Amino acid sequence: MSSQGFPLLRPHELPALKPQQQWLIEELWGYQAVGIIGGEPKSYKSFLALEIGIAVATGAMCLGRYPVKTRGPVLLYAAEDALHIVRERLNSMCMSRGLELHNLDLWVITVPVMRLDQERDQRHLVHTIEKVKPALLILDPFVRLHRIDENVSADVAPLLAFLRQQQRQQGCSVILVHHARKGGGAMRGGQALRGSSEFHAWGDSNIYLRHAPKGLRMAIEHRAAPSQKDIPIELHTENGTALLIGKAPEEPPHQSAPESSPRERVLAQLHEAAGPMKTHPLRKLCRMKSATLTKTLTELDASGIVTHTEDGWMIL
């Protein structure tokens, strides 16, 4: 280490992001952010990763609601899917947007095995990133990228640090697809991630998927921006083949009719009455206390709206 010490800057000298550079995808993923797409099995984590990849590569709206702020090449490694399946999924999702697969600025790493706990494969990935210069790197899933113990922080931290280093040196966002632990559906998203707590702490932007009674739900968590939770999404088909993950329709909330005021209830009953009404039956129909009814009738009488006769109350 140099005897001169570490480099220093005053706060006003620190680099600042332009407003348009705050997001890769507005409200969904931060600009040059690293993080996790996590969730339980069959929660469509890989489809969401592809949805984000297509959005960044084309500039198309993500999930039908999140605008892309930083468009650019995408580098993808899908460790668990055969290459023809990756092609089919990407083609189907492009078709649903009216996009052509050959125009997709997305590059797929085709090596059958990648071990990022090994220096050789780290070097290969660095060279590949330098060649493509992606705005986004997607690695799916984390469990296929190593042979370390995910529960041991000392094993996980160096691998995550390597990916953080690439984010900073290469200027790209990084998405890791990662599994939730068994029985973690009721836990907070970050706490439900399988393995070391390093995963949750590492992310600048994290997305968690879970199955709920009303369908699939998504939660979005950011280190430096407001988070969101309980966002409905779904996987459906268009024209029988094209797969698309998007925002599921929400049932409109039940709007109960506002409760009418004592004045409105009294006038409504007197309007419907065939003639003058005595106080006791009027109170029962209006479902109010005697004191409330008396006060209301007195005010209406003073305003010249109702009057009291020998037969009861009536509207003038």
- Note the pLDDT tens digit of each residue in 59-81: 999 998 899 999 999 999 999 99
- Looking at the structure of the chain, the number of domains it has is 2
Q: 124-170, pLDDT tens digit by residue?
A: 999 999 999 999 999 999 999 999 999 999 999 999 999 999 999 99
9-18, 31-40, 103-112, 127-136: least confidently modelled range: 9-18
Residue that finishes a domain, picked among 224, 247, 270: 247
The reported pLDDT for the residue numbered 1 is 47
φ/ψ of 204, rounded to 5, equals -85, -40
- Same domain as 187, residue 48: yes
Residue 208 inside a domain? The answer is: yes
The pTM of the full predicted model, rounded to 2 decimals, is 0.74
CA dihedral in degrees (61, 62, 63, 66; nearest 10)? -80
Residue 299 belongs to domain spanning: 262-315
- Same domain as 304, residue 193: no
Q: How far apart (Å, rounded) are the C-alpha atoms in residues 155 and 118?
A: 12
Residue 146 inside a domain? The answer is: yes
Q: What is the mean pLDDT of residues 264-283?
A: 84
Unique residue bearing structure tokens 């005021």: 261
- Same domain as 88, residue 175: yes
DSSP secondary structure code for residue 295 in this structure? H
- Same domain as 89, residue 54: yes
Q: How far apart (Å, rounded) are the C-alpha atoms in residues 8 and 253?
A: 54
Unique residue bearing structure tokens 């706990």: 117
Residue 70: Cβ within 10 Å count: 21
